[in-house]
Structure formats: C-alpha cells, structure tokens
Amino acid sequence: MKKFTRFYREISLAHMRAILIVCLLAFFFFPNFGGIKRTGDNMFLLSLNGKEIGMIGDTGKLPQLLREARLTLAEGREELILSEADFTVEGREVWFGKTDSDKEIVSRICEVLGADETEKLAPAYTVKIKEYLVNLQSAQDVTKLMQAALDKYQQNNEFQAEIVLDPTRELNVLTTFVRSSKEIREAAFAMPEAGVAAKLTEMTANTVSSGDKDFDDYEYGIVDLQYGDEVEIVESYVPQRAITPLADAIEYVTKDQEVNAVYKIQPGDTLSEIAITTNVPLDKLIEMNDSLEDENSVIKADQELIITMPEPELSIDRKEEIYSEEDYEAEIQYIDNDNWYTNESVVRQEPSAGHRKIAALVSYHNDKVVETEILKEEVTMAAVPKIVERGTKIPPTYIKPISGGRLSSQFGRRRAPTRGASSYHRGIDWATPVGTAVVASCGGVVERAGWGSGYGYVIYLRHSDGRQTRYGHLSKILVKPGQSVSQGQRIALSGNTGRSTGPHIHFELLINGSQVNPLEYLN
C-alpha cells in the first residue's frame, strides 16, 4: 500500500512538471495562443452576415481585412461588386485559445461576400446634356450618340464628333468637339511652312473677298456644325441596369421635344401671323396665354407670348451656304404730307415685283433660322416700289360730352318716343338732370348755337378733321357762333327742350354730312 501511494505521488508530480513545461513552451514559442488576461474580453468570435468566419484577437483590424477581401474579389474583373458586410463580434475572456490568421479571415470574408453578392457596378460613361443624364456602356457609344445628333442635319457625314478633355475644367471631365472632314484631311497632310512660303500663304489668304466671287465659287451646303448645348462626360461605375441601350439614348436625344419658349410681339404682328410664323395652332396659342381670350384679343408691341416649340434634347447650331432665285418686293416709299392726318393716305404708284439671284449664309438653331447674311446678290429685274403719300398730323379725338348720365337711347332703329319723332335715332341720348354741364367732345368752331326744330336749344360744332358734332335739348347755351372752343370746354347746360320725353342730352357725330354711331368713335 505504501509503495502504491508513493508511485501515485511520483506520477502526479511528473504530470504537473509536464504541464508546466508545455505552458512555458507555449508562452515562448506559440504567440497565437492568448495569454492569461484578467482585463476583460481578449478573444472575439467573428461572424459576417450571420455566418461564423473565425476567431480574432484585435477587432481594430476589421476594416483593413474587409478592404483586402473586396480587392481580392474585384481582382481580374472590370465591374465593381456590391455586397452587404454586416459584422457581429462576440467577445470572450479565455485563459488559453487560438486565433485565426489574417489570411484565413480574409479568405472566409471572400467566401461569404461572394455568396451574398447583391449587385455589380459596371464601368460606364455618364453623359450630361442640360438636365438630362444618360449612362452609356463605352466611349464608342458616347461618340455614336454625339454623331447621331450631328447626322440629323447632315447627309454626307462631313462633320465628325470627337471626345476630348474639357480644357476649362480642373477635374477629369470630357466634352465633345466637332471637326470637319476637310480639317481632318488638312491636318493629316499638312506640311509646316516657313519663311517666304508662309508669308505668301498669309498674303493670299486675305486677297479673296466675297465681292470677288462668282455664284459658282461658293461651297453650297453646310459649312459649320456645332453643338448648341454644353455636354459633359465622366467615367463612372453604375449598376448594370442603369446603363441605357445606345438606340434608346439616340432616340431620346435626337427626337424633338415640346418646350415652352417666349415670343416677343413685333409692331404690325397679328395673332394669325404669329401662329403661322411659330407653327403653333391659333387655338393652342390662345389656350397657353391667359392674356388672350379669343382670336380677336388685342395685342401690343413688346408683349410676350408663351409658345410651344419642338426642340431636340441636344441642340445643334449650323451654318449653311444657300443659293436661291426669288421674286422680291421693293421697300415701300412714303411721301409725308403735313397737312393730312395720319389716318389719311393715297397710293401714288403701284408696286411691281423684281427678280434676283442670291448666295446667302443662313444660321440655324436646330431647324429655326436665326440669321441670314447675304454673301452675293444679283438683280436680274429691278422691283418697282409702292409709293404712298401719307399724313403726319395726329387726328383729333372725341370724348363723352357729359360726366355720368345713363344711356337711355341707342343709335339706329327704335320705336318713336313721341308723336312726330323719327323711328330712326340719328344720335345717342344720356338721361341726366337739367343743368348738367355739357362740354365740347372735340376742339372746333361753333357753327350754330340757338333754337332748332325738334332739337330745342342746340349747338353745332365743326372740327378740324371735317367732322361735326351736335348737342341737343339744352337748357342754356354758353357759346356763340364763330367762337373757337377746346376739347372738354363747357359749352352748355343740359335740359329738356324741343321734342323730348325727359331731361337728357342728345349727341350726334356726322362724317361727310351723315350721322354715324358716336359710341364707335369716343375715347
């Protein structure tokens, strides 16, 4: 029994020595094993998107490990990969434990992210035209889009679209540039000149003017083609679904879109002429503008109207040399007559159209002509101008002869108010109390002032434009025949004299001896 106890003790001591030796060896030769700490969690179980990926001793390395994993996943691929990375960390305080190496953690992160891949970001070119943004797959697609906008206005492919760095931008932003085929050929075969040759080229370049050219010397057709809007292009990464097919982008960019524009009314414009000029139906023009009620609405020079004009998303400016033969009208020649009123005119010579040949440089914004420059003109038959003699004096105006009053009888057919009265009223009546001031509707000379049959007390005024006004049923006359009066001057008091059914003022306006409706001439 004593031998067995002593033997057991010797085994226990040997066992304890072995454990101590192993611990010392682990402490010095196996640093991946955690040492004894009593300061809290010293090892961490790491999970990614709900899946355990290993044990880590320092959570501060997680961002770096994630970056390494993403770079490893992206290696050899053109597209960027989007995937969720949701880490959870469970801290533990242990006496002994083994952590996984960084390489093992990165490998397991790649496995989880690859399995949980949500979306790929593909390389693309983002094109910005005004407020429109479109993503295209390649630089070649961008060039084709820009070329399609040019080809809408050209047939022979003389102008080519190029993508270049924008020199006005500090960042790596691209833009578009247009070069003609002629420029491309000249650049390819250009030889540098120096000395006498360069001087001769400079001198001869300035010797040819448009006045020396014949009609056959012009290069008819498009001579310049440029983009009318700023285009910005940047390289980007976008989801594959955000890349627009080239055909769809071309259709949207080149197709005419309806946009609101402003038309400034010019002197002499009419609504029907504006509708024809702007190619906007008259009813739609009225509908878009609150200031217009119908086709008879009054418009004034410099007034602005909203019009809808078709324009593509990417505008194109072009210049085109055009040859034409046309009949033309000479400008009207006027002879001013200071003794006539401005509403008087007489045609002294009837016009006759002429004929001419023209070489012109026409500038367009899309399909709209913005400027025409005549390069050469040859008149084959001179036009005969229309000659008009016209007055320069401002014609007199007419005002209501009383203040207030009620319109009691209109001009024209009526039921005779009293026996012996005419059923055709040759003036207008305003009911007003006896004694209301009556003023001259227009400046003139008193032709008659006194009693008139049917009129009672009446005044006739003769005006400088040859017209006459009459004021009847007065109670008192304040002027005499031959007296000159000014517009608005008091000439009488209203009354109820003559053939009258009540206090009122009877007013007439005569042109060339015949009564007309005064309401059509009063201001």
What whole-number distance in Å separates Cα of residue 246 and Cα of residue 478?
89
How would you classify the pairing of strands 424-425 and 43-48? unpaired
Reported confidence tier of residue 194, pLDDT bands at 50, 70, 90:
low
Same domain as 224, residue 160: yes
Same domain as 412, residue 391: no
For the stretch 261-271, pLDDT in tens is: 888 998 888 89
Last residue of a domain, one of 115, 144, 160: 115
Q: Does residue 276 fall inside a structural domain?
A: no
| Mean pLDDT for all residues in the chain | 85
Q: Does residue 179 fall inside a structural domain?
A: yes
Q: Does residue 11 fall inside a structural domain?
A: no
Last residue of a domain, one of 395, 422, 450: 395
Contact between residue 130 and residue 229 where contact means Cβ atoms under 8 Å apart: yes
Q: Does residue 309 fall inside a structural domain?
A: no
Same domain as 338, residue 249: no
What whole-number distance in Å separates Cα of residue 122 and Cα of residue 112?
21
Q: Does residue 193 fall inside a structural domain?
A: no
CA atoms within 13 A on the CB side of 181: 7
For the stretch 204-239, pLDDT in tens is: 444 445 557 899 999 899 999 999 999 999 998 888
Same domain as 226, residue 152: yes
What whole-number distance in Å separates Cα of residue 348 and Cα of residue 3?
157
24: number of Cβ within 10 Å: 10
Same domain as 427, residue 337: no
Query: Residue 165's closest CA among 236, 231, 249?
Result: 231
Same domain as 491, residue 410: yes
Q: What is the pLDDT of residue 210?
A: 52
One-letter amino acid for residue 331 of the chain: E
Reported confidence tier of residue 506, pLDDT bands at 50, 70, 90:
very high
The CATH number linked to 375 is 2.20.230.10
Contact between residue 44 and residue 87 where contact means Cβ atoms under 8 Å apart: no
Same domain as 245, residue 129: yes
Q: How far is CA 321 from CA 55, 151, 170, 223, 374, in A?
A: 79, 18, 38, 7, 10
Q: Which residues pair with 517 in a beta bridge?
A: none
Reported confidence tier of residue 117, pLDDT bands at 50, 70, 90:
low
Q: Does residue 301 fall inside a structural domain?
A: no
Contact between residue 93 and residue 102 where contact means Cβ atoms under 8 Å apart: no
Q: What is the pLDDT of residue 27?
A: 54
Q: What is the pLDDT of residue 37?
A: 45
Q: What is the pLDDT of residue 83?
A: 67
How would you classify the pairing of strands 490-494 and 468-477? antiparallel
What residues have CB less than 8 Å from 43, skipping those under 6 apart? 34, 55, 56, 57, 91, 92, 93, 94, 97, 99
Query: Residue 150's closest CA among 4, 326, 278, 317?
Result: 317
Last residue of a domain, one of 224, 253, 282: 253
Same domain as 390, residue 410: no
Q: What is the pLDDT of residue 188?
A: 65
pLDDT at 202 over 70: no
Same domain as 420, residue 354: no
Q: What is the pLDDT averaged over residues 21-30?
A: 58
Query: What is the side-by-side strand order in the sheet with 221-227?
Result: 221-227, 316-328, 354-365, 368-381
Number of domains forming the structure of the chain:
4
What residues have CB less than 8 Å from 181, skipping those under 6 apart? 157, 158, 159, 160
pLDDT higher for 155 or 121?
Answer: 155
| pTM of the predicted model as reported, rounded to 2 decimal places | 0.51
Residue 280 has φ and ψ, to the nearest 5°, of: -115, 125
Q: Which residues pair with 164 in a beta bridge?
A: 175
The CATH number linked to 506 is 2.70.70.10
Same domain as 173, residue 142: yes
Place of tokens 């609101």: 260
For the stretch 64-98, pLDDT in tens is: 988 888 888 777 666 556 667 888 888 888 777 78
Contact between residue 54 and residue 107 where contact means Cβ atoms under 8 Å apart: no
What residues have CB less than 8 Å from 224, skipping those under 6 apart? 317, 318, 319
Same domain as 245, residue 226: yes
Structural domain boundaries, residue 100: 43-115
Q: Does residue 85 fall inside a structural domain?
A: yes
Contact between residue 508 and residue 437 where contact means Cβ atoms under 8 Å apart: no
- In total, the chain counts a number of residues equal to 523
Q: Does residue 269 fall inside a structural domain?
A: no
Contact between residue 105 and residue 56 where contact means Cβ atoms under 8 Å apart: yes
Same domain as 355, residue 460: no
